[in-house]
């Protein structure tokens, strides 16, 4: 299929070149081993091949590929194609600096125009941007129209940005291949084909080509561990966390499907414990998030147990999976599942006895907390506990058994866990590691330093378990060693109207990558007509005025306008937009009037309202202007007239 697809792509491009001599593309020039008769860069062994449409010199350590590549991928026994841009963020000379600018400019123009786009985060060493086909194909005929659409939209924008950069940097070398260059490449390819056409004459001393393309799996692995989506209200921050969480927890899921299907997958991952959602608030504490002592009633007695917070719970699950995947033992049954079976059995029969090596020293379990097992010794003493984390390590063979202290009680429980003969869908200890996600909505509304406590250090990428600089701390209540694994991702959202990015806790800012979510005016759901104006034009006009009077952090999000008609927009104005403006301007109706116009805000003309009483500031109070909001609910015609006044028409 590899050779056939290459030939089909080549013939298609060649046909476009016949119709338009300025439509040029690259073909393979060298006869590398295994690719002597290939049309394009790539080998059948790698299952990739690529072409490009521009001559743009680029160099950085370890690179031999072009700045821009159109890649065809056959790794999944189906066909996927994508166009990718790749350049170092630390260019060595002016040419490579211009290369970087080109990638960044094209990314800004195209990243919101396609459904399946991936790009590197701010901390990555490379500036990567890729646009991927939205589905996998069985043949070239199936993908032809989508490929043509991609090239028609991308190539002109790249050409435009090259022209702009060259106007400011005349020495920048970048251009479409000329017809003359195209002809030379094709002639050289024909000579290679003629030379190596006899398969028996192929030489073994050719250099084997290495793949230089970045596939989708690599891109997904570059997702930052800690990220915050920030922007004004209504820009889709919480909405997008669903997609991002799924992309991390289940990278193989197709996010181009309808919203209901995406939500079902999100709910499934939540039910399975791979995604946890929470919202920070002023009352959130370390005890809620990590661990704390909480009272419980048992047998009419109040007891105080150490309870895990939601962050510690998901860390525990991610650590279990991480240890399961990295321990290298042959254990086939996940600890969390067999441990739950132990708890279930104990609930039914609390008198289970666990044998010791010395006869007559059997012990019993008295109960479970989130972090420990309380047990009763044969001697009758009951103030003894076993750590669940230690038990997990012993079960997976990560830690050695100790023949002293409470260490002599673990082997019996490990044997019990191993005795459960249940099929867990053949989960292997060496199976792929799973990713876990905690989504923290309104992360800036909580006291982050208080909520995370000493664990703020542990979420740094190089401090995660398994890394060279990994750190564990001892928790204050349970006294357990605690670390955060590299398969746990944190996604936060932040409303900039509530607190600006600059005012955010410095410790938090250092450990997160920030992605701005501004209002988008080019969305399909904003192109409808509302009283003679497009929704996008109306929204943009309001936001320009707000930015002048306040700043861009207090703009109005597109969610309040998207897919609204001339009836529903009235509700949106009176239930969402006007209340937001009242909050932004502290009920300064004069400024609200500057945003919405005289159709929504009017001055109240009234006689003196004060009692007859002498006061130094009487005249000042008397002259103070009063305003009111004009109610157009239920009257679309008047509301439409108010919109026209808002737009200065």
Closest CA to 317 of 471, 466, 436, 432: 436
Residue 209 lies in a domain: no
pLDDT > 90? residue 121 = no
| Final residue in a domain of this structure, among 196, 230, 245 | 196
HEC assignment per residue over 124-150: CCEEEEEEECCCCECCHHHHHHHHHHH
Which pTM does this prediction carry? 0.63
What is the residue-wise DSSP string for 450-483? Answer: HHHGGGGTTTSGGGSBTSTT---EE-TTT--EE-
Residue range 354-371: mean pLDDT, rounded: 86
Lowest-pLDDT choice from 49-63, 319-333, 340-354, 541-555: 319-333
Say what the pLDDT of residue 617 is.
Answer: 81
- Given a contact cutoff of 8 angstroms between Cβ atoms, the answer to whether 172 and 166 are in contact is yes
Does 111 share its domain with 250? no
Domain count along the chain: 4
Does 126 share its domain with 96? yes
Does 374 share its domain with 267? no
Say what the pLDDT of residue 636 is.
Answer: 93
Measured CA to CA, the distance from residue 16 to residue 24 in angstroms comes to: 9
CA atoms within 13 A of residue 152's CA, in its CB half-sphere: 7
pLDDT in tens, 179-191: 988 888 888 888 8
Residue 212 lies in a domain: no
State the average pLDDT for the chain: 85
Lowest-pLDDT choice from 196-205, 223-232, 253-262: 196-205
- Given a contact cutoff of 8 angstroms between Cβ atoms, the answer to whether 467 and 305 are in contact is no
What phi-psi label fits residue 380: left (phi over 0), alpha (psi between -120 and 50 degrees) or beta? left
Lowest-pLDDT choice from 53-62, 236-245, 438-447: 53-62
Residue range 102-116: mean pLDDT, rounded: 90
107: confidence class by pLDDT, cuts 50, 70, 90: very high
Question: Scanning the structure block, which residue is given the tokens 């992605």?
Answer: 515
Measured CA to CA, the distance from residue 347 to residue 326 in angstroms comes to: 32
Q: Which domain holds residue 54?
A: 1-196
pLDDT in tens, 539-570: 999 999 999 999 988 999 999 999 999 999 99
Does 190 share its domain with 86? yes
Angle between helices 310-326 and 335-348 (to 10 degrees): 120
Say what the pLDDT of residue 428 is.
Answer: 42
| Final residue in a domain of this structure, among 463, 488, 517 | 517
pLDDT in tens, 33-65: 556 788 888 777 778 888 999 999 887 544 446
Does 318 share its domain with 355? no
Angle at 230 between CA 227 and CA 231, to 5 degrees: 165
Residue 343 lies in a domain: yes
Say what the pLDDT of residue 640 is.
Answer: 96
CA atoms within 13 A of residue 564's CA, in its CB half-sphere: 22
Does 98 share its domain with 130? yes
pLDDT > 80? residue 332 = no
CA distances from 94 to 91, 101, 165, 172 (A): 8, 10, 12, 8
The three-state secondary structure class of 617 is coil
| Final residue in a domain of this structure, among 196, 213, 231 | 196
Q: What are phi and psi of 207, to 5 degrees?
A: -75, 135
Largest CA distance in the chain: 113
Measured CA to CA, the distance from residue 139 to residue 151 in angstroms comes to: 18
Does 164 share its domain with 24? yes
Say what the pLDDT of residue 576 is.
Answer: 95
- Given a contact cutoff of 8 angstroms between Cβ atoms, the answer to whether 220 and 250 are in contact is no
Residue 454 lies in a domain: yes
Other Cβ atoms less than 10 A from the Cβ of 182: the count is 20
The three-state secondary structure class of 85 is strand
pLDDT in tens, 374-410: 898 888 888 888 988 889 888 888 778 888 888 899 9
Say what the pLDDT of residue 213 is.
Answer: 47
Residue range 24-35: mean pLDDT, rounded: 75
- Given a contact cutoff of 8 angstroms between Cβ atoms, the answer to whether 324 and 489 are in contact is no
pLDDT > 60? residue 502 = no
Write the CATH number for 465: 3.40.50
Q: What is the CA radius of gyration of the chain?
A: 32
Question: Scanning the structure block, which residue is given the tokens 């979420």?
Answer: 459
Percent of the chain whose predicted confidence (pLDDT) is above 70: 89
Residue range 118-138: mean pLDDT, rounded: 81
Question: Scanning the structure block, which residue is given the tokens 């006044």?
Answer: 645
Say what the pLDDT of residue 431 is.
Answer: 52
pLDDT > 60? residue 30 = yes
Other Cβ atoms less than 10 A from the Cβ of 165: the count is 18
Say what the pLDDT of residue 546 is.
Answer: 95
Burial of 589 (0-12, 13-18, 19+ CB in 10 A): buried
The three-state secondary structure class of 571 is helix
Residue 428 lies in a domain: no
210: confidence class by pLDDT, cuts 50, 70, 90: very low
Does 510 share its domain with 533? no
151: confidence class by pLDDT, cuts 50, 70, 90: very high
Say what the pLDDT of residue 190 is.
Answer: 85
Measured CA to CA, the distance from residue 217 to residue 384 in angstroms comes to: 48
Residue 10 lies in a domain: yes
pLDDT > 80? residue 302 = no
Beta-strand pair 488-495/226-231: parallel
pLDDT > 50? residue 261 = yes
- Given a contact cutoff of 8 angstroms between Cβ atoms, the answer to whether 569 and 636 are in contact is no
Does 36 share its domain with 85? yes
pLDDT > 90? residue 370 = no
Measured CA to CA, the distance from residue 388 to residue 479 in angstroms comes to: 12
**3-state helix vs strand vs coil in the chain, percent to 5:** 40, 20, 40
Say what the pLDDT of residue 209 is.
Answer: 44
- More reliable by pLDDT, 434 or 199: 434
Q: Which two tokens stand for residue 241?
A: 């966390």
Q: Which two tokens stand for residue 237?
A: 């921050």
Say what the pLDDT of residue 33 is.
Answer: 59
CA atoms within 13 A of residue 488's CA, in its CB half-sphere: 27
Say what the pLDDT of residue 31 is.
Answer: 63
Percent of the chain whose predicted confidence (pLDDT) is above 90: 43
């Amino acid at each position: 299929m590899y050779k056939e697809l290459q030939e089909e792509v080549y013939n298609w491009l060649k046909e476009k070149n016949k119709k338009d001599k300025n439509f040029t593309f690259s073909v393979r020039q060298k006869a590398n081993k295994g690719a002597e008769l290939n049309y394009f860069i790539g080998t059948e062994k790698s299952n990739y091949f690529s072409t490009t449409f521009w001559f743009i010199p680029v160099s950085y350590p370890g690179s031999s590929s072009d700045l821009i590549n159109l890649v065809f991928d056959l790794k999944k026994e189906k066909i996927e194609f994508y166009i990718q841009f790749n350049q170092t963020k630390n260019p060595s000379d002016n040419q490579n600096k211009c290369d970087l600018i080109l990638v960044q400019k094209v990314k800004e123009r195209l990243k919101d125009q396609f459904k399946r786009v991936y790009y590197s985060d701010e901390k990555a060493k490379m500036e990567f941007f890729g646009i991927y086909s939205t589905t996998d194909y069985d043949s070239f005929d199936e993908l032809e129209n989508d490929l043509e659409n991609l090239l028609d939209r991308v190539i002109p924008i790249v050409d435009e940005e090259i022209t702009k950069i060259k106007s400011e940097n005349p020495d920048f070398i970048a251009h479409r291949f000329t017809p003359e260059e195209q002809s030379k490449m094709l002639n050289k390819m024909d000579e290679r084909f003629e030379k190596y056409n006899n398969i028996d004459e192929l030489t073994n001393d050719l250099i084997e080509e290495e793949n230089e393309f970045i596939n989708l799996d690599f891109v997904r692995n570059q997702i930052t561990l800690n990220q915050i989506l920030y922007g004004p209200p209504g820009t889709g921050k919480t909405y997008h966390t669903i997609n991002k969480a799924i992309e991390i927890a289940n990278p193989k899921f197709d996010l181009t499907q309808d919203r209901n299907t995406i939500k079902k997958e999100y709910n499934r991952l939540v039910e399975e414990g791979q995604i946890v959602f929470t919202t920070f608030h002023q009352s959130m504490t370390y005890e809620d998030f990590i661990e704390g002592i909480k009272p419980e009633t048992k047998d009419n007695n109040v007891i105080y147990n150490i309870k895990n917070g939601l962050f510690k719970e998901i860390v525990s699950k991610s650590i279990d999976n991480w240890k399961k995947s990295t321990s290298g033992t042959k254990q086939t049954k996940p600890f969390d599942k067999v441990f739950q079976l132990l708890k279930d059995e104990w609930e039914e029969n609390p008198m289970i006895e666990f044998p010791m090596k010395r006869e007559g020293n059997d012990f019993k379990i008295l109960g479970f907390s989130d972090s420990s097992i309380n047990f009763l010794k044969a001697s009758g003493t009951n103030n003894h506990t076993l750590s669940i984390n230690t038990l997990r390590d012993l079960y997976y063979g990560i830690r050695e058994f100790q023949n002293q202290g409470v260490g002599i009680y673990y082997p019996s429980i490990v044997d019990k866990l191993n005795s459960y003969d249940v099929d867990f869908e053949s989960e292997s200890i060496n199976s792929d590691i799973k990713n876990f996600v905690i989504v923290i909505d309104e992360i800036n509304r909580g006291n982050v330093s208080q909520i995370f406590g000493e664990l703020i250090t542990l979420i740094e990428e190089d401090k995660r378990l398994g890394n060279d600089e990994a750190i564990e701390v001892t928790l204050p209540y349970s006294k357990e060693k605690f670390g955060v694994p590299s398969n746990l991702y944190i996604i936060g959202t932040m409303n900039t109207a509530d607190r600006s990015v600059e005012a955010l806790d410095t410790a938090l800012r250092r450990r997160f990558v920030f992605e701005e979510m501004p209002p988008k005016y080019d969305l399909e759901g904003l192109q409808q007509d509302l009283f003679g104006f497009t929704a996008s034009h109306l929204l943009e006009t309001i936001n320009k005025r707000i930015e002048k009077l306040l700043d861009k952090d207090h703009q109005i999000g597109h969610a309040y306008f998207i897919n609204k008609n001339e009836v529903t927009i009235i509700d949106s104005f009176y239930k969402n937009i006007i209340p937001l403006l009242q909050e932004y301007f502290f009920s300064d109706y004069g400024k609200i009037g500057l945003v919405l116009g005289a159709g929504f805000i009017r001055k109240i003309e009234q006689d003196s309202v004060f009692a007859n009483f002498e006061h130094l500031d009487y005249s000042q109070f008397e002259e103070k202007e009063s305003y009111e909001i004009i109610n157009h609910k239920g009257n679309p015609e008047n509301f439409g007239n108010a919109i026209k006044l808002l737009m200065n028409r």
